Amino acid sequence: MDIEAIRKQVEQQVMQYFHLEPTVTDAPYAGMVTGVDVISHLEHSLLNPDTTLETIERECAVARKYSVAAVCVAPYYVPAAREILLGSPVAVGTAIGFPHGCMSQAAKLAELRECMANGATEVDVALNVLAIKSGRLDVAQRELDELVRCAVGKVQLKAVFEHALYTPEEKRAVLQMLRSSGVNYVKIQNMLSGHGARVEDVRFASEILGRNVGIKIDGGIKTLAQAEELLAAGATRLGLTATAKIAEEALKNA
């Protein structure tokens, strides 16, 4: 059952019954998140391979200062981030199955369980790209089903959508699978795209996912205006390193 399609059909019938014209906007969430409200949608990314414990301590303090949504650290640093952020509203996020989710299902589940035990409350998980590219979406889906079962009620799960690897048909198939998978977010990743976060990529995903799955996007987000534009297009989380810069810009304009 496609709940989003049913919702749209009912909405259209109500509009026709009352002879109402739909309100046309540039994006489904245009104008809803601006200024200081942007800060609570930021995820401070601390995933560079040369990140030291000193960097984690300093940057977690930055995240705590501005009360952003979350930090995203490597699994190795989850215990440290948890200790530093204890008592703050900032979630401890991490990433598993990187870069392309091509290890065994057992290995990925073990990594998820360890991260949860160490204090992670949000987890970005890479889908099995090799299975998807081989036309075995069912394999990737079964694995994700197991991860969702393990995570439900314990952590927020974000499925990584490395969209540059997929054909247009694969993009739609993967997003349709994710729409009903039980994940909390789809993360549009730009590691291999050759460009940064784009509004059109958010709109494309949002059109398929509907409003029941959050959208996270990363890739060179450097200004408040860019953050506002992506959120207006339908993103609900922004992964970035320029967190302090954007937070200060938002506070300055408040």
The set of residues, in sequence order, having a beta carbon less than 8 Å from that of 87 and lying 6+ positions away, is none
> Of 108, 158, 171, 216, which one is the catalytic site residue?
216
Are 48 and 98 a contacting pair, CB within 8 Å?
no
Coil vs helix vs strand at 194: coil
Closest to 235 measured CA to CA, from 208, 203, 207, 212:
203
Kindly report the length of the chain. Answer: 254
> Of 124, 158, 171, 201, which one is the catalytic site residue?
124
Confirm whether 145 is a catalytic residue. no
Residue 196: what are its φ and ψ, rounded to 5°?
-90, -165
> Of 158, 187, 201, 218, which one is the catalytic site residue?
187
Confirm whether 124 is a catalytic residue. yes
H or E stretch including 240? strand 237-240
First to last CA, the chain: 44
Confirm whether 171 is a catalytic residue. no
Cα 220 to Cα 2, 60, 96, 158: the distances in Å are 34, 20, 21, 19
CB atoms within 10 A of CB 99: 13
Residues with catalytic roles: 124, 187, 216
